[in-house]
Amino acid sequence: MTAVLDNHCHIDPRNGDGIDAVRRFARSGGTHLCIVNKPSWSLDVEASDADDFREVFDETLRTVEEADEVLEGKAFAVLGVHPALVSKLLGRLGGPQNDEGVERAEEVMKTGLEVAAEYVEEGRAIALKSGRPHYDVQEPTWELSNNVMEHAFRLGADHDCAVQLHTESGDDFTDIREMAEDVGMSPDRVVKHFSSPNVSAVRRSVIAYEENVFEAAEDGRDFFLETDYLDDAERPGAVLGTRTVPKRVDALLDEGYDDAVDRACVTLPEEVYGVDMSL
């Protein structure tokens, strides 16, 4: 039996199916999950200081522990700050033209990443989450977001861990690769969540639509597979259901892409996250 990893999903016992979604994944052949904390506001937390982020992260870790009891393999925590938090913060702090508000928003987001890095240092998380908005923003907001992402890379270098990114759509992320390199982080440990098959310059975490998966396997470059499952009762099945990655792995194996599956689900996570994927 091969390990089967969903590289980016959310499990939410409060607002979604919770551990039942993990059970569906396991029954379909899934063995390992990277569970990413949901945005603070979706858990009714108005993030302002370190303790607010700890509340969100601790809830995620409780879910990871429960998932561990269901999976044949293991669940891993990926903790950090959703880049859309910048808009929430600036909405409270006077908008992107308020210099003091921009400075405060950057401070709050960096604090969240520093708290997440503490969990990595303690061995309770395997990676940080950061990025920049996937929607149009004004220049001060964009600059702030890049500063925060650069801080995540510094923390990744300092704590020897990967960084998963939520960013705008696109294929060429050379600017992000260079940003990581400039602060001493290996870009081979920078993972673009919700990747198209054509993403370059950083690691691809390919959203597991069927056509994406086979296109990624055919080009021979390394990739992860993910569902970005949201676990939200108001958006059932979004983005993809937890059965999807095991189904795609089975399809890849049926077509002879054994090496691609091994890289995506065993050797690449071991290299990027430093985890043991053995069963």
Contacts of 228 (CB under 8 A, 6+ apart): 8, 9, 10, 193, 194, 207, 239, 240
The arithmetic mean of pLDDT across residues 203-213, rounded, is: 98
Could you identify the residue written with the tokens 């969990």?
Answer: 119
CB 106 within 8 A of CB 48: no
Report the distance separating Cα 103 and Cα 109, nearest Å.
Answer: 10
Instruction: Please compute the mean of the pLDDT values over residues 183-199 and round it to a whole number.
Output: 98
Give the mean pLDDT of 157-182. Answer: 98
Q: What is the mean pLDDT of residues 5-14?
A: 97
What number does CATH give the domain 5-273? 3.20.20.140
For position 237, what pLDDT does the model report? 87
Average of per-residue pLDDT across 130-157: 97
What number is the average pLDDT over the span 194-218? 98
CA-CA-CA-CA torsion sign (153, 156, 162, 167): negative
The pLDDT tens digits for 222-265 are 999 999 999 999 999 899 999 999 999 999 999 999 999 999 99
Q: Is the pLDDT of residue 1 over 90?
A: no
Q: So what's the pLDDT on residue 250?
A: 98
Q: Which residues pair with 107 in a beta bridge?
A: none
pLDDT higher at 127 or 1: 127
pLDDT (tens digit per residue) in 15-68: 999 999 999 999 999 999 999 999 999 999 999 999 999 999 999 999 999 999
Residue range 84-137, pLDDT digits in tens:
999 999 999 999 999 999 999 999 999 999 999 999 999 999 999 999 999 999
Question: Residue 113 corresponds to which tokens in the numbers above?
Answer: 């990443």
First to last CA, the chain: 8
- Domain boundaries defined on the chain: 5-273
Please, how many CA atoms are within 13 Å of residue 27, restricted to the half-sphere of its CB? 8
Q: How far apart are CA 131 and CA 147, in angstroms?
A: 10
**Contact present, 104 and 171 (Cβ < 8 Å):** no
